[in-house]
Structure formats: C-alpha cells, structure tokens
Amino acid sequence: MHDHSDVLHRLKITEGHLRGIQRMVEEDTYCIDIIRQIQAVQSSLNKISAKLLEGHLNSCLITAVRGDDPLEQERVLKEINEVFEAANKI
C-alpha cells in the first residue's frame, strides 16, 4: 500500500486551479492569462505524474525485478516503456 496523501493534496490544489481557469473563461479573461494558468496546471500535473512514477519505480518495479517471475518483470518494464511512449506523443 502506498501513501498517496501528498499526491491527493497536490491534485486538490490543481483541481482548484482548474476551476479557476473555468471561471476565467466564463468571465472572458484575457486569453494569454488563461493560457498561463493552463500551463501552470499542466506543470502541476507533470510534477504529480513524476512523483507517482518515482514511487512506482521504487516499489513496484523493484519488487518485480527482484522477483522470480520473468513474465511479471517483462510486464512491468513494458508498462514503463508505454508510459514514456505516451508522454512523448503529447
């Protein structure tokens, strides 16, 4: 079991920023200001993603690599590769 309290806290803060962006759009705020806030939310999500990935690498990946099941090792490594491929498509 992982302690995701910090991740949940960061997600709630990011959710608040996103709601703020919605209000900005509703209020017809200057487009560049909205874009800057969107970039801040994207940066926040990237940091959250990196934190989750770090936790995964330091727990699930290590457990699988140290284990005796080659199929599990391959599966976990494939997942990591898929995550990086998906990130590069964005």
pLDDT in tens, 35-89: 999 999 999 999 999 999 999 999 988 999 899 999 999 999 999 999 888 888 8
Length of the chain: 90
Q: Which one has a higher pLDDT value, 87 or 5? A: 5
8-43 burial by CB neighbour count: b if 16+ within 10 A, else e? Answer: eebeeebeeeeeebeebeeeeeeeeebeebeeebee
Could you give the CA distance from residue 54 to residue 57 in angstroms, rounded to a whole number? 5
Residues 6+ apart with CB under 8 A from 9: none
Q: Which one has a higher pLDDT value, 33 or 59? A: 33
pLDDT in the model for residue 1: 64
Residue 33 pLDDT exceeds 70: yes
Domain covering 5-89: architecture:
Up-down Bundle (1.20)
Q: What is the pTM of this model?
A: 0.82
